[in-house]
C-alpha cells in the first residue's frame, strides 16, 4: 500500500455489557493492567490453569527470533488436561459432547466416555506402530471420532494433521506427502444436505500417491460400500476392541502438537506447526475469557468444522480443557429446513454460540422468520469468527439471535496465531457493531504504515503483532525460511500476515480483510470490506462481495456483486432502479470516491465449502478473464450464472 488505508466507514452505535454478566464475568478490566505491568508473569499465571507434570524453567525464550519457545523445560499432556483431570476430579458423568447427526441421530458423550474412547484410540494407534513424533492425517466428517482421533494423537505425542473433509484427493495427498504421515483416519462417508457423501474413496485415491501411509483406519458412519485393501482397518474392530486403560505420558512444552495446512500464495500449502504448552495455555485461557465460559452451567456451540483451526482451538482443545459441555453438529444449516440451527440451540439450551459472518449473512438472506420461530432465550453470549463482520450483519445477529441483550464478541485471529488475539471481553468491553475492539490482555497488536510506524487514531494500515504470544505458530513445517519470509520480512521484528486494519477515533480496531483485497481508486486505498458493509447496510441487500477491476481512468474501479434479500423485486426497471439506489447509497455512506462503477445483482456468490467468498474468481469475471481453478468451490455453476450476467450487462452498456 503506497499510503494508509482510507478510513471511510463511520459507526456511532455502542452497546455496554449487561450489568449481571459484567458483575459475574470470568475476566474483569484489571486483567489489562495486570498484563501491561508484566506480560510474561500474566501468561505464566494463565499456564497455571493447566496441570503440568513438570514446571517450566523459563516462560519465554526469544533469543533466536522469530523462533519462540514458551514454558521452556515444562512438561504436560494435552489429552490429560482435556479429559483425565476432569474425570479424576469427579466430573466424569458431566456431558462433554451433545452430538447431533444431520439425519437426526444423536449421541451423548460424557467426559468418562470420551476418556475411555480416547484411551482405546491411543492404544490402537500405538499397536499400529505410531510413536511420539510420527504424523497422523485425519480426514473425517463432524463426528465425535474426529475429536477422539485428535486427542488420541495428543495423548501419545503423535502430531496430527487434520484435513477438511471437503478437500479433493489431490489436496489430501499433497498434505499427507508434505507431513510424511504414517496413518490416515477417515470414515466411509458423512452426511451432507441429506445424502451420504463418500470419504474413503477420496482417501484411496490420495493414498495411492503416498508411500509413507502404512494403515487407513475407517470409521463406519454411513454404511455405504467401500473398497478394501490390506492396509485398511475398521475403527469398530480395532479401536473399540482395545483396552480403555492408558496412562498419558507428559511431553515437552515445545513438542509438536499439530500441523494445519493453510493456502499460500504459491501452489504449495503452508503447514502451520503448533506446539503443546503455549498453544494449550492460550486456547484454554481465551475460551474462558472471551466467551465467559461457566462450565457448570453453560452449553457452548462452535459451528466450525474440525478441519479448520477454529475447530481445533474452540471445539476440541479450548472447551475440553475447561471442562465445558458443548454441541457438535454434523451437517449443513439448512437440512432439512432453514431453521435447523435454531432448533438445535433450543433443543440443547445453547448459551454461547460461536459462528461465522458468512453464515450470519446467509441467515439474514433466508429471512427473520426462521430464528423468530425458535425460542433462543438460553443464549447469553454470541461470537463471530473467520472474517470481518459488517455492522448490519452484527446488528442482525444481536437483534434476531440475541434478542438485543447479548454481547457479541467479534474475534480476530488466524491459523497462524493459534488462538484469539483481538476481541471484546463480554463483561468488560462496550462493543461497536463490526469492530473487534482491542487486543486481549497479554497481546501486543498495532496498526502501522508502510514504514512500520504506528498510525494515529483515525488512521488505517497494516495489522501487526509486536511481541511473541504463547499460541503462535513455531514455523512452517519443513521450511523455516518460508516462515521467516512469509510472516517476518515485511516489518523487521514484527509479525505481519497480510491483514489490513484501521483505528477509529477511540483507538478501537476494525479489521479490513486481506491487504490483497484493498483497491487503489484514484490514488485512495479503499478496503473491499468497507464497501461491502455499506452495501449490506441497505435494507434491500443480504450479502455483497466487492472487487477492484482495472480501469483506464481511475486505475482501479469498484465492481460489486450483490445478493438482494428474498422479498426484493429485481426484475426489469425495478432492478435498474435498485442498482442506481445502491450506487448512490454507497456514495452517501462512504463518499463519492467509493461509488461502485458497476453493481451486479446475483442469486449467489462463489464460496468455498467453509463459506469464504472467492473474490479471485469475481476479479476474473470483472476483468472479463477466463476463470481460474474452481475445484474448491461449493457450487461451480454459480460462476457460469455470474459470468453470463456480466456479459449481458456489458452488452447493455
94-117 pLDDT per residue, tens: 999 999 999 999 999 999 999 999
Domain with CATH 3.40.50.980 in the chain: 109-248
Q: What is the rounded end-to-end Cα distance, in angstroms, of the chain?
A: 32
Determine whether the annotation assigns residue 414 to a binding site. yes
Question: Can you give the pLDDT at residue 634?
Answer: 64
514 annotated to a ligand binding site: yes
Which residue shows C-alpha cell 438485543? 404
pLDDT of residue 635: 66
pLDDT given for residue 15 in this prediction: 97
**Is there a binding annotation on residue 386?**
yes
The reply to whether 195 sits in an annotated binding site is: yes
> Which residues lie below 8 Å from residue 306, measured CB to CB, with a gap of 6+?
138, 140, 142, 146, 147, 150, 162, 312, 315, 316
Q: Is 255 annotated for ligand binding?
A: no
What interhelical angle do 528-536 and 572-590 show, nearest 10? 120
15-77+250-516 belongs to CATH 3.40.50.2300: no
Dihedral angle sign, alpha carbons of residues 10, 465, 34, 18: positive
Query: What span, in angstroms and rounded, lies between the C-alpha atoms of 72 and 70?
Result: 5
Q: Any binding-site annotation on 411? A: yes
Residue 622 has a pLDDT of 86
Distance from C-alpha of 308 to C-alpha of 262, rounded to nearest angstrom: 9
* Amino acid 258: pLDDT: 98
Span(s) in the chain for CATH 3.30.300.30? 538-652
Give buried/exposed letters for 569-590 (b at 16+ CB in 10 A, else e): ebeeeeeeebbeebbebbeebb
**479 among annotated binding-site residues:** no
Is 310 known to sit in a ligand binding site?
yes
Cell 512500520 -> residue: 452
Do the Cβ atoms of 137 and 184 come closer than 8 Å? yes
Instruction: Please state the φ and ψ torsions of residue 257, each to the nearest 5 degrees.
Output: -95, -50
Task: Find out whether 65 is annotated in a ligand binding site.
Answer: no
Regions of the chain short of the pLDDT cut 50: 1-3, 265, 651-653
Q: Is 92 annotated as contributing to ligand binding?
A: no
Rounded CA separation 292/279 (Å):
19
Instruction: Establish whether 541 is an annotated binding residue.
Output: yes
Q: How far apart are CA 396 and CA 406, in angstroms?
A: 12
Q: Identify the burial level of 554 via C-beta atoms within 10 angstroms of its C-beta, where 0-12 means exposed, 13-18 middle and 19 or more buried.
A: middle
What pLDDT score does 610 carry? 66
Domain 538-652 has CATH 3.40.50.720: no
Sequence ranges of the chain with CATH classification 3.40.50.12780: 15-77+250-516
536 has binding-site annotation: yes
Q: What is the pLDDT of residue 652?
A: 43
Query: Minimal CA–CA distance to 172: which of 217, 133, 125, 207?
Result: 207
* Residue 387 assigned ligand-binding role: yes
Cβ(497)–Cβ(414) under 8 Å?
A: yes
Which CATH fold would you assign to the domain 109-248?
Rossmann fold (3.40.50)
- Say whether 194 counts as a known binding-site residue: yes
Residue 350, SS3 per DSSP: coil
388 is in an annotated binding site: yes
Tell me if 499 is assigned to a ligand binding site.
Answer: yes
Amino acid at each position: 500500500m503506497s499510503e494508509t488505508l482510507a478510513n471511510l466507514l463511520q459507526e456511532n452505535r455502542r452497546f455496554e455489557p449487561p450489568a449481571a454478566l459484567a458483575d459475574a464475568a470470568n475476566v474483569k478490566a484489571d486483567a489489562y493492567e495486570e498484563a501491561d505491568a508484566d506480560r510474561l508473569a500474566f501468561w505464566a499465571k494463565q499456564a497455571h490453569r493447566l496441570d503440568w507434570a513438570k514446571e517450566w524453567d523459563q516462560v519465554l525464550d526469544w533469543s533466536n527470533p522469530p523462533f519462540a519457545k514458551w514454558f521452556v523445560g515444562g512438561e504436560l499432556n494435552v489429552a490429560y488436561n482435556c479429559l483425565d483431570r476432569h474425570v479424576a476430579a469427579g466430573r466424569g458423568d458431566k456431558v462433554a459432547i451433545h452430538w447431533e447427526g444431520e439425519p437426526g441421530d444423536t449421541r451423548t458423550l460424557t467426559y468418562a466416555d470420551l476418556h475411555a474412547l480416547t484411551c482405546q484410540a491411543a492404544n490402537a494407534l500405538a499397536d499400529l506402530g505410531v510413536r511420539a513424533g510420527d504424523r497422523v492425517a485425519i480426514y473425517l466428517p463432524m463426528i465425535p471420532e474426529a475429536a477422539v482421533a485428535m486427542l488420541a494423537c495428543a495423548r501419545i505425542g503423535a502430531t496430527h494433521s487434520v484435513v477438511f473433509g471437503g478437500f479433493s484427493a489431490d489436496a489430501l495427498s499433497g498434505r499427507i506427502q508434505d507431513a510424511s504421515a504414517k496413518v490416515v483416519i477417515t470414515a466411509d462417508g458423512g452426511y451432507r444436505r441429506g445424502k451420504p457423501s463418500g470419504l474413503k474413496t477420496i482417501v484411496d485415491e490420495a493414498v495411492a500417491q503416498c508411500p509413507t501411509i502404512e494403515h487407513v483406519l475407517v470409521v463406519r458412519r454411513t454404511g455405504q460400500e467401500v473398497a478394501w485393501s490390506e492396509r485398511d482397518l475398521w475403527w469398530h474392530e480395532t479401536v473399540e476392541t482395545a483396552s480403555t486403560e492408558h496412562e498419558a505420558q507428559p511431553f515437552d512444552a515445545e513438542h509438536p502438537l499439530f500441523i494445519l495446512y493453510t493456502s499460500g500464495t504459491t501452489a504449495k500449502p503452508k503447514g502451520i506447526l503448533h506446539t503443546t504448552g503455549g498453544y494449550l495455555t492460550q486456547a484454554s485461557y481465551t475460551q474462558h475469557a472471551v466467551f465467559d465460559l461457566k462450565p457448570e452451567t453453560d452449553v457452548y456451540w462452535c459451528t466450525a468444522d474440525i478441519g479448520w483451526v477454529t475447530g481445533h482451538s474452540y471445539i476440541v482443545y479450548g472447551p475440553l480443557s475447561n471442562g465445558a459441555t458443548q454441541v457438535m453438529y454434523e451437517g449443513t444449516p439448512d437440512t432439512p429446513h432453514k431453521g435447523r440451527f435454531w432448533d438445535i440451540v433450543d433443543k440443547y439450551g445453547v448459551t454461547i454460540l460461536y459462528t461465522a459472518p458468512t453464515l450470519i449473512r446467509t441467515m439474514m438472506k433466508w429471512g427473520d422468520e426462521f430464528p423468530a420461530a425458535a425460542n433462543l432465550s438460553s443464549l447469553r453470549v454470541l461470537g463471530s469468527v473467520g472474517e470481518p463482520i459488517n455492522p448490519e450483519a452484527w446488528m442482525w445477529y444481536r437483534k434476531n439471535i440475541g434478542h438485543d441483550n447479548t454481547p457479541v464478541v467479534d474475534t480476530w485471529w488466524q491459523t497462524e496465531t493459534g488462538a484469539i488475539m483481538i476481541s471484546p471481553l463480554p463483561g468488560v468491553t462496550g462493543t461497536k457493531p463490526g469492530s473487534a475492539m482491542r487486543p486481549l490482555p497479554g497481546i501486543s497488536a498495532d496498526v502501522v504504515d508502510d514504514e512500520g510506524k504506528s498510525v494515529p487514531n483515525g488512521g488505517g494500515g497494516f495489522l501487526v503483532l509486536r511481541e511473541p504470544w504463547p499460541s503462535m505458530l513455531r514455523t512452517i513445517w519443513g521450511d523455516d525460511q518460508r516462515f521467516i519470509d512469509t510472516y517476518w520480512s515485511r516489518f523487521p521484528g514484527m509479525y505481519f500476515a497480510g491483514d489490513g486494519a484501521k483505528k477509529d477515533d477511540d483507538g478501537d480496531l476494525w479489521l479490513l480483510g486481506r491487504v490483497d483485497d484493498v483497491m487503489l481508486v484514484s490514488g485512495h486505498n479503499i478496503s473491499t470490506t468497507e464497501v461491502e458493509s455499506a452495501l449490506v447496510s441497505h435494507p434491500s441487500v443480504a450479502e455483497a462481495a466487492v472487487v477492484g477491476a482495472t480501469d483506464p481512468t481511475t486505475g482501479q474501479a469498484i465492481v460489486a456483486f450483490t445478493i438482494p434479500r428474498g422479498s426484493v423485486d429485481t426484475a426489469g426497471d425495478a432492478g435498474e432502479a435498485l442498482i442506481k439506489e445502491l450506487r448512490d447509497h454507497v456514495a452517501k455512506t462512504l463518499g463519492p470516491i467509493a461509488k461502485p462503477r458497476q453493481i451486479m445483482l446475483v442469486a449467489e456468490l462463489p464460496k468455498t465449502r467453509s463459506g469464504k467468498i472467492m473474490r479471485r474468481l469475481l476479479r476474473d469475471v470483472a476483468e472479463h478473464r477466463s476463470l481460474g481453478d474452481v475445484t474448491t468451490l461449493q457450487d461451480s455453476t454459480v460462476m457460469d450464472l455470474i459470468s453470463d450476467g456480466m456479459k449481458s450487462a456489458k452488452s447493455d452498456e
